């Protein structure tokens, strides 16, 4: 289930490359697009999946039940401690 996001990203990349080829976009431009796609979407998705797995392995489901309510200029939203831990781990990795 977790790897479907990565599979969808790869499928989206293939579709965009095929579409760009059909539209006659140069090979250099397509290569640059693929490089940016991999650098800014695919690698962070894989790292996020790995760090989420590490946090879940260490804490189990305990962090998923802790909610933190954040209020930014009157707009309230909640975020789990699990998401915060994954974001911190991602920040430390990068």
pLDDT tens, residue order, the chain (94 aa) = 467 888 888 999 999 999 999 999 999 999 999 999 999 988 888 888 889 899 999 988 888 889 988 888 889 988 999 999 999 998 888 7
Count how many Cα atoms sit within 13 Å of the Cα of residue 5 in the half-sphere of its side chain: 11
Confidence (pLDDT) at 15? 95
Model pTM score = 0.69
- Sign of CA pseudo-dihedral 48, 51, 55, 57: positive
| Token pair listed for 83 | 């998401």
């Amino acid at each position: 289930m977790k790897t479907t996001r990565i599979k969808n990203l790869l499928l989206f990349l293939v579709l965009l490359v095929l579409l760009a080829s059909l539209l006659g976009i140069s090979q250099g431009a397509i290569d640059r697009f693929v490089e940016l796609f991999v650098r800014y979407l695919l690698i962070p998705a894989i790292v996020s999946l790995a760090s989420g797995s590490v946090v879940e392995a260490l804490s189990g489901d305990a962090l998923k039940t802790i909610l933190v309510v954040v209020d930014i200029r009157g707009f309230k939203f909640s975020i789990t401690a699990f998401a915060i831990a994954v974001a911190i781990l991602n920040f430390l990795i990068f």
